[in-house]
Structure 1
Amino acid sequence: MKTYNVVKNLNLKNFKYNTMKQYLLTFIFSASLLVMNAQTSTEATLSSIETHEQAKQFVKDKYAFNSKIFTFNEAKHKTQLAKTLFKLEKGQVKSEKAASEKILYKILEKTKNTYHRVSYIFLDGNEYSLESINTLRETLIKKYNNGIPFNALANQYSMDNNANKGGDTGWFTTDDVNSEFESTLIKDNHTLDTIYNVDINSTNSYYLVLKTFAPKDITEIKVLKIVEPI
């Protein structure tokens, strides 16, 4: 009787063990299938995204994913990833796999814009008369021609916060323009290294401008990035 009970107990333990093992295998298979289906679904959805607005909606809907939209500028972004993405055309996808995640990049937009860049000294017509401003600009031009760097003059004389940058505007496009001053800069046809005056009488704003860079065509891409667990 004791031997029978021992065998019975062993069989019961084996049955429970096998049942648990089968359950775990089924669970792992099901979980893997769900992940595979989710990945397939994500990639299918990604292939259907064609516009920036559709990408924004995807980011909003898929809040569980680490997804976002960002812009790469060819003049500013020099990483290996950026260089790789710039080789892709609109609509193409790049994927990377890590130990526990898959990263997808889709090119939403690829554009080339003309950028402009100058340095300037701003003189406030509300503080000084136009006669005083013109006299000062003549003095500053002489100082510049005598070898004093323009950024040093801007740092000392310019009457706005950009003085801290030596008067440098940085690269800007027509899309960035929000002032009559910048609109005038884009329309001007001065040659490189020319120093000249710009007067915006409507706002009593007066400038001494140095054209530091020729206009430059720069490529930008908007990219949808999705980080998906695997």
Structure 2
Amino acid sequence: MKHLLTLLLFMPFICAAQSDFEQQLDSISTPEEATTFLKEKKPYKGKLFTFNKAKHKTKLADELFSMSKGGKKVIKSNYKKTYYKVVDKANVNYSKFRIIVFDAAKTSKESAINERKDVLTQFLQGYRFKDLAKHYSHGPTAKMGGDTGWIKEGEMSPEFDAEAFHENHASDEAFIVDDATHNKYYLVIQTEPITSIEEITVLKFSENID
């Protein structure tokens, strides 16, 4: 009885704290505000995630995509409560490429460019680009035949973006990109046209349940 009375006495304070937290969460409307919120709430577990409709096919992702900006989902377990809030929603231009990276930092600019010329000649003679990428590329996508997957502007260098996203290239037409800033020289083909894909930014935050 004594423990029950103590619990009843503290219930209003617990509810008030939950109410204040919910109000604070509801007031977040931008990724910048979400970042500030996470900094203030350390060491609690929280993070900002970006979901791409073409990449993320989970049940949770589908539910979040069905919400409007500001929408919130709460998942409860025995020990914690996890909040997901959509803080931004937009259509973003993506495309897919295959790339062969020639790293001048490991040889020289002249060697990288000459090797690229040789590989381009092989491609024009009929060799498959993905096979050439596996054999010649110095980049992390070599094992995948140079496949970048869906990428957007800003994920590669400005030099890459300027040529790949802002110049017209026929499908499977090889073109070059010189990124002298990072000593990278690319041979590239575009495998998917620039496509507008829905993207959401989600704040995930977990708190323990006492």
TM above 0.5: yes
Provide Cα deviations, 1:167-192, integer angstroms capped at 9, x if missing partner: 22232222324241332111221232
Q: Which structure has the highest strand share of the two?
A: 2
In structure 1, the residue matched to 2:41 is 62
Query: Whole-Å Cα distance in 1 between the matches of residues 35 and 113 of structure 2?
Result: 51
User: What is the aligned counterpart of 1:127 among 111, 134, 139?
Assistant: 111
Provide Cα deviations, 1:155-210, integer angstroms capped at 9, x if missing partner: 11234444233122232222324241332111221232x22232539678654332
Percent identity over the alignment is 33
Name the SS for the 2:3 alignment partner.
helix
Query: Whole-Å Cα distance in 2 between the matches of residues 28 and 44 of structure 1?
Result: 24
Distance change in 2, residues 1:106/1:166 (3 Å): same
Name the SS for the 2:111 alignment partner.
coil
Answer yes or no: is the 8 Å Cα contact 1:95–1:105 preserved in 2: yes
Matching residue's letter, 2:126: K
In the alignment, structure 1 residue 52 sits paired with structure 2 residue 31:
yes
Distance change in 2, residues 1:158/1:48 (3 Å): closer
Q: Which structure has the highest helix share of the two?
A: 1
Question: TM-score, normalization: structure 2?
Answer: 0.80
- Deviation for aligned residue 1:85: 0.4
Query: Whole-Å Cα distance in 2 between the matches of residues 108 and 180 of structure 1?
Result: 30
Answer yes or no: is the 8 Å Cα contact 2:84–2:204 preserved in 1: yes
Q: What are the within-5 Å matches in structure 2 for residues 146-185 of structure 1?
A: 149-185=128-164
In the alignment, structure 1 residue 217 sits paired with structure 2 residue 196:
yes
In the alignment, structure 1 residue 77 sits paired with structure 2 residue 60:
no
Greater gyration radius: 1
Query: Whole-Å Cα distance in 2 between the matches of residues 110 and 117 of structure 1?
Result: 22
Distance change in 2, residues 1:138/1:37 (3 Å): same
Query: Whole-Å Cα distance in 1 between the matches of residues 179 and 58 of structure 2?
Result: 44
- Deviation for aligned residue 1:109: 0.7
In the alignment, structure 1 residue 227 sits paired with structure 2 residue 210:
no
Query: Whole-Å Cα distance in 2 between the matches of residues 65 and 178 of structure 1?
Result: 34
In structure 2, the residue matched to 1:4 is none
Q: What are the within-5 Å matches in structure 2 for residues 130-141 of structure 1?
A: 130=114, 133-141=116-124
Matching residue's letter, 1:195: E
Name the SS for the 1:60 alignment partner.
helix
In structure 1, the residue matched to 2:126 is 143
Matching residue's letter, 1:214: P
Question: TM-score, normalization: structure 1?
Answer: 0.74
User: What is the aligned counterpart of 1:197 among 134, 154, 175?
Assistant: 175
Query: Whole-Å Cα distance in 2 between the matches of residues 161 and 46 of structure 1?
Result: 39
In the alignment, structure 1 residue 99 sits paired with structure 2 residue 78:
yes
Answer yes or no: is the 8 Å Cα contact 1:177–1:183 preserved in 2: no
Answer yes or no: is the 8 Å Cα contact 1:92–1:107 preserved in 2: yes
RMSD of equivalent CA atoms: 2.7
Name the SS for the 2:157 alignment partner.
coil
- Deviation for aligned residue 1:129: 6.5
